[in-house]
Structure 1
Amino acid sequence: MAFIDRECVRHLLEAPDPDATLVFVRGECVVLSDAEIDDAHRGLIIARRRDLTAHIHGDTITDQQLDLLAERLDNVVHDLGA
């Protein structure tokens, strides 16, 4: 079962905040700004937007790129013990 999908990654990459962060909270992926992340959420961070931009090639994000990133991030969630 996948926890992170293409839409989670899309929300993170399209977030207006350059410091947007993908956090896995109660079974859902949530995009929060860095200022919104408190101690309770710090251990639930999956990825920061700035970390993903290095994996995007070209000006347009393809569904294939989103799926690949989602698969990688889903593995992070599984490693967290979800």
Structure 2
Amino acid sequence: MPLVDRDCARRLLESDDPDVALVFVRGECLVLPVDEIDDEHRGLVIMQRRDLPDAFVAAPISDDRVEALACRLDNAARDLGG
């Protein structure tokens, strides 16, 4: 079972705000404004939107791109010990 699902990856990718981040909190994947993430949860940030590779943000959003991003983010979450 993935820690980061396609819906969460899509929310990060579709955000118009570059200052949001995908955070894994209490078993839930959330997309939050960076300035709302407190010190206790900063270590749980998987990726900020502004740090996404250009290949993900430059082209139109497709299901394949969302799936590829979800896979990368899921791997990053597992590396954090999610």
TM-score, normalisation: structure 2? 0.88
Task: Letter of the 2:8 partner, please give it.
Answer: C
**Alpha-carbon deviation of 1:53?**
5.0
Unaligned runs of 5+ in 2: none
**Alpha-carbon deviation of 1:15?**
2.5
Q: How does 1:1-82 map to 2 (within 5 A)?
A: 1-52=1-52, 54-56=54-56, 57-58=58-59, 60-82=60-82
Identity, in percent, stands at 56
Total equivalences in the alignment: 81
**Alpha-carbon deviation of 1:39?**
0.6
Indicate the SS of the match to 1:30.
strand
Indicate the SS of the match to 1:39.
coil
Mapped to 2, the partners of 1:34 and 1:4 lie a distance apart of 18
**Alpha-carbon deviation of 1:16?**
3.9
Mapped to 1, the partners of 2:39 and 2:62 lie a distance apart of 34
TM-score, normalisation: structure 1? 0.88
Mapped to 1, the partners of 2:2 and 2:55 lie a distance apart of 20
Unaligned runs of 5+ in 1: none
Mapped to 2, the partners of 1:11 and 1:75 lie a distance apart of 18
Runs of 4+ in 1 over 4 A off after TM superposition: none
**Alpha-carbon deviation of 1:80?**
1.1
- The CA RMSD measured in Å over matched residues stands at 1.3
